[in-house]
Chain A
Amino acid sequence: MSGENQPITNVLVPTGALGAGVRREHVWAGLVAGPHAIACDAGSTDSGPAYLATGKPKYSRAAVKADLTILMQAQAQARIPLLIGSCGTSGADTALDWTCEIALEIAAEHGLSPKIALLRSEQDPEVLAAKARAGKIRPLAPHTEASPELFLGCDHVVALMGPEPYIAALEAGADIVLGGRTTDTAVLAALPLSRGAGAGPAWHAGKIAECGGLCTRRTRDGGVMIKVGQDSFDVEPLSAANACDPYTVSSHMLYENADPFLLTEPGGVLDVREAVYEALDARTVRVRGSRFVPAPYTMKLEGAGGGPFQTVILVGIQDPEVLAELPRFLDQMETALRRRLAEAMPQVGPEAVSLRPYGWNAVLGDAPPPGTPTPREIGLLLVATAADQATATQIAKTCNPILFHMPLDPETELPSYAFPFSPAEIERGQVYEFKLNHVVEVDDPLELVRMSFVQAGAR
């Protein structure tokens, strides 16, 4: 790969996310190839703000335990480090502790005794407000400001770690490193970087492998192995039946990335504009020409908090006469709801209700193009929003008779549309919102990170 004298670091990436599914046979096949570490992440912002705002994980405890059991057994057997970033979806402290507790339970059940490092990157909003006042925080587009109040409005704030805390934990003798929020790439790049791999190949390999099998032909078929050297890296699937090719690997740079060529990381920017992707054999791709351009160290901040509350009502409509004139019916419905709310609850503004006709235009909310066929039925979802749950429910209840009985034309007999539930209204809880898109300057990659150790199996 990069000359006989240069060390190659093999990292087994078993899955795109802990809890999404790890295949025991693929991990064991990967162990045969001699990995130096097993690494994956366990979270991201992809699934929405609720997981960060509440600190509760997205995946079930059972799913995470099943995956983590396989990885901890592989770690113990191969005696190589296991690194897991963004534990418990958000990487908040409660989510990290939840993951650690599962790990300790697995260790007890299987007679394992790893030394576990915990890397906390949740931040005190007050500390960040002070950093903002000191001019150490700047907004990322499309945000334009970094006022201290923004941070105080968050229920949880996490800073995305780079590879340095993982390397520090390994140097301190950790067998397993469970990290709070971390960039997906950093978890995979940490060991290659610490063993002297080229920064460009290490970061690029981390990016390509961060979603596990997504850079392979059969994207659902297990994880991948990255082999990182000084000037290049190789990537291949763990499953013998699966394959990577230059197209599947290079196109992964498009996925969920705003920019397909440049990726900003805590200590610099990965630049793949000159990268060359070459098939090494029928299932392995070699990548050369990746560059990492160092920049002042910053950590991205993610913050979320609770907003207003919502109550919803779903009503099914199959009346062909109504559906034949659906735009008129929906306009009338909107008007009737607003009129009734203005009479009965004048304190409520018009933005308190949103009508979403599923089967018509609920997903995009735009006008359907001319010629759109009449649907056979629609599910009309009313979303009522208010500062508290009780008011949201009162709004929904006020709307109920109109949703139930509004005729297309006044002279027609009273229709009754189809509620699926009793009570018709469903209190769906709080709306959670992302509130931050900022970076904080730090003097040291560990400045905002707290490291601690737990010895599993100790009696």
Chain B
Amino acid sequence: MPQLKDVCRFIRSKNAGPYWITVDLYFDAANYAAYAEAPGLSIEALARAAAVAPGEVRKFVVPDLHVVKVTYPRPSPQGGVLERDLHGGQQFVRFQALEV
């Protein structure tokens, strides 16, 4: 079964303010059509990859850009005692091996 990193052009993550992470999944047209709404990219699957509850995940499809955007709360606010990734820029790795 292909993994997300095999079907995306690239994946990036970043904070969206101090309390949220947002992940952009960039596809080409064919893979976007095949995967954007596929069960492999369900809210539940994305929540598992993000290690948060499904109710906390927001998924947006952006057909004009062939992008799926995933936004979820940070486990702790940016920069606190538990911080390991201040800008959220490495969180995309959690999604790379998601089986689609």
Contact = CB atoms under 8 A, between A and B. Distances in A.
A257 B19 CA distance: 12
B86 A48 contact: yes
Interface residues of A, number: 37
B84 A431 contact: no
A258 B16 contact: yes
A254 B82 contact: no
Interface string A254-283: 111111110000000000000000000000
A48 B19 contact: no
A250 B64 CA distance: 9
B85 A260 contact: no
A251 interface: yes
Given A258-B17, A258-B22, A258-B71, A307 B81 contact: yes
Contacts of A364: 84-85, 90-91, 93-94
Contact of B87 (A46, A49, A261, A433): A46
A93 B92 CA distance: 36
B73 interface: yes
B29 interface: no
A433 to B, nearest CB: 5
Nearest to A142: B73
A241 interface: no
A307 B84 contact: no
Given A250-B64, A356-B84, A364-B84, A256 B79 contact: no
B60 A259 contact: yes
Interface in A340-384: 354, 356, 362-366, 369
Contacts of B69: 254, 260
A189 B62 CA distance: 25
A431 B81 contact: yes
B97 A369 contact: yes
Contacts of A385: 81
A110 interface: no
A432 B78 CA distance: 9
**Residue in A45, A255, A257, A431 with the greatest tally of chain B CB atoms within 10 Å:** A257
Contacts of B78: 45, 48-49, 434
B65 A251 contact: yes
A437 interface: yes
Nearest to B18: A434
Nearest to A300: B17
B77 A434 contact: yes
Size range of the chain B interface in the assembly = 35 or more
A415 interface: no
B65 A365 contact: no
A366 B84 CA distance: 11
B60 A432 contact: no
B46 interface: no
A434 B86 CA distance: 12
Interface string A35-48: 00000000001111
B66 to A, nearest CB: 10
A431 B80 contact: yes
Interface string B57-70: 01010101101010
A185 B23 CA distance: 22
A184 to B, nearest CB: 12
Contact of B14 (A49, A256, A362, A437): A256
A258 B56 CA distance: 12
A255 B14 contact: yes
**Residue in B16, B20, B80, B90 with the greatest tally of chain A CB atoms within 10 Å:** B80
Contacts of B15: 46, 256
B84 A365 contact: yes
B44 interface: no
A143 interface: yes
Contacts of A369: 97
B16 A45 contact: no
Given A247-B65, A258-B71, A369-B97, A433 B22 contact: no
A50 interface: yes
B24 interface: yes
B79 A260 contact: no
Contact of B79 (A258, A356, A434): A434
Interface of A: 45-50, 141-143, 247, 250-251, 254-261, 307-308, 310, 354, 356, 362-366, 369, 385, 431-434, 437
14 contacts: A46-B15, A47-B86, A50-B79, A141-B73, A142-B56, A143-B19, A250-B64, A258-B17, A258-B71, A260-B60, A260-B62, A363-B90, A364-B94, A369-B97
